Structure 1
Amino acid sequence: MTPDRRAQQGSEVDVDIPLRITDRLFVLGFPFGHTGSWPFAVWTAAPVASEPLARWDQLPGFLLDSRTRPGQSGSPVVMHIRPGEPVVAGGDVITHEESVTALVGIYSGRLDPNADLGMVWTTDALFKILPEVAPPGWTSPDPVR
């Protein structure tokens, strides 16, 4: 179970929101170390490029197709659902009245400087390595190798 990606937590539609290839995620960071005129992160849109459950190269992560740049490694990767945006979860179509933003992993950088494919370490990997940041009740789905 991934407790940080829930549809309307605590309600009758409290179900896991699946993460699939082509789903749009965002890498929140500071490309080239720039902060602009405000110290707020840049949201770089990034579709999921590899099967999130299959583990990329035997590692607990998956690929994004993103225009990330140096300075964004270590950035949070989030799923953001806008109000009224339909989501298929638990076999039903769900819409939210408010925005839903959930952490799905940590961006570690591009596979190659000449490619737009980058690696995301999953929250399960993060919580396994740093259990003190895991949500209450979280249990590891499988061992991190």
Structure 2
Amino acid sequence: MIEIREESGHSLFIEMSFQGTLLSTGTAFVVHTTKGPHLITNRHNVTGRHQETGEALSSTLGIPDSITITHHQKNAVGSFVKKTQPLLIDNQNVWVEHPTLKDGADFVAIKLSDVSGVDTVPIKISKEPTKARLAPSDVVSVIGFPFSLKASGGFAVWSSGFIASEPEINYNNLPVLLIDCRSRQGQSGSPVFLYRTSGSVQMRNGSAVMFTEPYSEFIGIYSGRIHKDSDIGMVWKSIAIRELISFIENPASWQTQITTTFTSTNIPLITPRPIW
């Protein structure tokens, strides 16, 4: 019997096109909400524009109007099925942005319009920070499709990197941490995991827990390198994605809610924060 890590199944290959012409490829994953399954990926993947400069990413200068997702076929591990859906309806974007950061956040959610015959393999995103205590130099896994490369069929490629900034401090006053990883085009939108096959994991409550089986926690979504000549890349934290999901499920609650996710001052250094 072939053993496949669940994390390998979370990452989905996506293709962005304009009027049937392929413009770019990337990575995405699915989350389940009370409003139905949603695809999470980078905003720049669906806009076709650089997140900071607004310049077109495709050499054709085309802007995508549809997205094709390579899903897992239901009840058929190792088989895949493609589903295409529009990115614009009546000239309006179909994606949902973070309720407070809006277009300043390089991740969006798209409600899946057709999941017939599909196994979505969703990522469960906790409302709390990671249980494990993250620190600079910790190894993390970026699971996606560099240069459209697939491990086999539609399965993603694992890239390893290291946390390169203090996880409790927000990079550039955004819910972002930095990693040092040799990522490449096509990995934008990849889920990032703390993954250990076994051994000891330091927890936030100060304990060290021994595991004889794999230990995995979702950290966030990878959005690309800070500079083309650097291997330092950005990961939007899981708690910010959780806020987007909460907004989708109950948008009215965000009219008066004040988020504190992005405050980088008055953070206790080194001392772990208990979450239980």
User: Higher Cα Rg: structure 1 or 2?
Assistant: 2
- Counterpart of 1:40? 155
Aligned-partner residue type, residue 153 of structure 2: W
2:179 matched residue in structure 1:
64
The residue identity in structure 2 corresponding to 1:53 is: E
The residue identity in structure 2 corresponding to 1:88 is Q
2:260 pairs with one of 113, 131, 142: 142
Structure 1: gaps (5+ residues): 6-15, 134-139
What residue is the counterpart of 2:141 in the other structure?
Answer: 26
For 1:86, what is the secondary structure of its paired residue? strand
Task: Give the percent of matched residue pairs that are identical in Structure 1 and Structure 2.
Answer: 34
Gaps of 5+ in 2: 1-125, 250-257, 264-276
Q: Among residues 212, 220, 231, which one is paired with 1:105 in the alignment? A: 220
Match of 1:50 in 2: 165
Other-structure match for 1:117 = 232
Which residue number in structure 1 is paired with residue 132 of structure 2? 17
Equivalent residue, structure 1, for 2:200: 86
Number of residue pairs matched by the alignment: 128
Q: Distance in 2 between matches of 1:48 and 1:2?
A: 22
Q: Deviations over 1:42-90 (max 9, x none)?
A: 110010001111100111011000000000001000010222x112222
Which residue type is aligned with residue 22 of structure 1? S
* Bigger relative contact order (CA 8 A; separation at least 6): 1
Q: Is residue 124–residue 141 contact of structure 1 (8 Å, CA) maintained in 2?
A: no
* In structure 2, C-alpha distance between the alignment counterparts of 1:95 and 1:32, rounded to whole Å: 37
Counterpart of 2:161 in structure 1: which amino acid? Answer: A
Q: CA deviation at 1:143?
A: 4.1
- Map Cα deviations across residues 104-132 of structure 1 (whole Å, 9 max, x no partner): 00000000111000000000111112225
TM-score by length of 2: 0.43
